[in-house]
């Protein structure tokens, strides 16, 4: 009677071990994430692979660890240099440094106006071509009064016209003192550079009163396909009739 009992215990223990091993959790570091990999189960008879989404494989299958993220690869070779950009699409700028403008206590005529060159645009500052100019200049009146009522005007002018004291300017914009001591002027202009030897363009301001912190910025926008309208007359610079 003892011998059959021992055989029965052995058979029961072997069967239980098979069941437990077939459905046991797979615990060697796989957690079903991209970093550690995923646990798949391959049927030992049909070779079909399944993914249970758990950390267990059913009996009759073999666990497979797949998809773990490997170590970072070495840096690849540098790519080829891209094509040159289209400079005609750029908007160029020049900063106008801050400066003070001092005038006489009493200004009786236009000859007494204080004239300053705020900036110079040279042909080699940007690619040759036709540009629209847009300046934003600001400052503060220094001790203005209603009696002296100071005024300021800014404009663009070619250097040769400035040196010859000619009244040929572009885009005059001015401001008179009333109550507010701040100054904001926006002169506009245009230039057409064909050679690096062309005459530079100046940003000039004239004032009858002292100004503190006169500064700003100039934008130059290129026009590659600038064509006149059929009814357009030739462009004539505006005379500085306000002086």
Q: Where residue 187 falls among pLDDT bands split at 50, 70, 90?
A: very high
Residues 69-112 pLDDT 10s: 777 888 888 888 877 666 556 789 999 999 888 887 655 555 56
The predicted pLDDT at position 114 comes to 86
Retrieve residue 79's tokens: 């790519």
The predicted pLDDT at position 203 comes to 94
Set out the domains of the chain in order of their start, with CATH numbers.
18-66 (no CATH), 87-225+235-239 (2.60.120.660)
Retrieve residue 47's tokens: 């070779």
The predicted pLDDT at position 28 comes to 58
Q: What is the pTM of this model?
A: 0.56
Locate tokens 């572009």: which residue?
Answer: 170
Half-sphere exposure of 173 (CA within 13 A, CB side): 16
Closest CA to 61 of 72, 75, 50, 76: 50
CA distance 151 to 242: 11
**Average pLDDT estimate for 38-50:** 89
The predicted pLDDT at position 119 comes to 93
Q: Where residue 234 falls among pLDDT bands split at 50, 70, 90?
A: low
Strand partners, 229: none
């Amino acid at each position: 009677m003892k011998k059959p009992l021992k055989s029965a215990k052995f058979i029961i223990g072997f069967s239980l071990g098979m069941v437990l091993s077939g459905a046991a959790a797979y615990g060697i570091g796989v957690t079903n994430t991209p970093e550690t990999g995923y646990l798949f189960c391959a049927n030992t008879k049909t070779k079909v692979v399944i993914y249970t989404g758990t950390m267990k494989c059913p009996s009759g299958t073999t666990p497979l660890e797949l998809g773990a993220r490997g170590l970072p690869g070495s840096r690849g070779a540098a790519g080829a240099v891209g094509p040159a950009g289209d400079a005609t699409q750029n908007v160029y700028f020049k900063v106008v440094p801050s400066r003070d403008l001092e005038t006489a206590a009493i200004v009786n005529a236009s000859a007494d106006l204080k004239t300053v060159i705020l900036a110079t645009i040279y042909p080699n500052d940007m690619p040759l071509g036709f540009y629209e100019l847009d300046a934003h200049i600001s400052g503060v009146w220094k001790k203005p009064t209603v009696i002296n009522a100071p005024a300021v005007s800014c404009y663009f002018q070619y250097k040769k016209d400035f040196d010859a004291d000619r009244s040929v300017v572009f885009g005059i914009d001015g401001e008179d003192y009333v109550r507010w001591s701040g100054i904001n002027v926006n002169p506009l202009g245009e230039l057409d550079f064909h050679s690096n030897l062309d005459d530079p363009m100046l940003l000039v301001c004239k004032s009858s009163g002292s100004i503190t912190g006169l500064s700003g910025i100039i934008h130059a926008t290129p026009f590659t396909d600038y064509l006149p309208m059929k009814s357009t007359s030739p462009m004539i610079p505006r005379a500085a009739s306000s002086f």
